[in-house]
Amino acid sequence: MNSNLNLNDLLTSNGDGVEVIPTLAAFVVCLAMAFILRTFYQQRSYSLSGKSHIASIIPILSAVVFLVIVVVKSSLALSLGLVGALSIVRFRTPIKEPEELVYLFLAIAIGLGYGAGHILITSLLVTLILIVIYLWLSNREGAATSDYNFVINWRDGSVSFETILQHVSELSESVKLIRLDQGAEKNMAVLQLSPKNEFNFDQISKAIQSLDADSTISFYEANTNW
């Protein structure tokens, strides 16, 4: 009889104010919502790099945050210990695109909300956020970049950078200098430009090559990571 009571106490509470069965139910919902977010990110994100890597850690991130919140929410000492532990941890993984931060913070928020026991409000708010992302951030037409990196290499020393810049500016809405290297045998300029509505890459290529037939030109989207 006593063993049955002890087993029942073990399954319903750990003695520190954490209810086991409700916590496990919240954890299951947390994982389900995290996998929904993962699928949403894979199908709707226009991220150019690291999509599979970021998607694979979203459920794990939510689960880890859930565990941390469950452990520390009932103890001030554990909360202070967590702050001390995080203060000596450095995360050096670069986040190359802002959209990745949106999904990672949302994964953290899922773990925080369900870990704190706010199942209903967390589910509602995450659903609303996903709807906003679906209607706005995942709009691929609006997300399509209009900025390009333009790399020019030319050898003719009589061709000045100002002349090249003038030709590029005539065919672009805006031009920004990123890098300029000038030498005795070779010159290189990297520009970021926003094309006009009916932008033709051949036009600017021919304009530059008319100044120096031996010049080489490269175009690529400004948010592409190489």
At 123-155, the pLDDT tens digits run 999 999 999 888 876 555 544 556 778 888 888
Cα 172 from Cα 204, distance rounded (Å): 9
Written as one string, the DSSP assignment of 162-184 is HHHHHHHHHTEEEEEEEEEEE-S
Residues 6+ apart with CB under 8 A from 201: 219
Strands (E), the chain: 148-154, 172-182, 187-195, 216-221
- 24: tokens are 């496990």
Q: Which domains does the chain have, with CATH numbers?
A: 2-143 (no CATH), 148-221 (3.30.70.380)
Number of Cβ atoms within 10 Å of the Cβ of 171 = 17
Sheet holding 187-195, edge to edge: 172-182, 187-195, 148-154, 216-221
Name the more confident of 204 and 88.
204
At 19-69, the pLDDT tens digits run 788 889 999 999 999 999 998 888 877 665 557 778 888 999 899 889 888
Name the more confident of 216 and 110.
110
The answer to whether the pTM exceeds 0.85 is no
Q: Which of 193, 194, 226, 225 is nearest to 98 (CA)?
A: 225
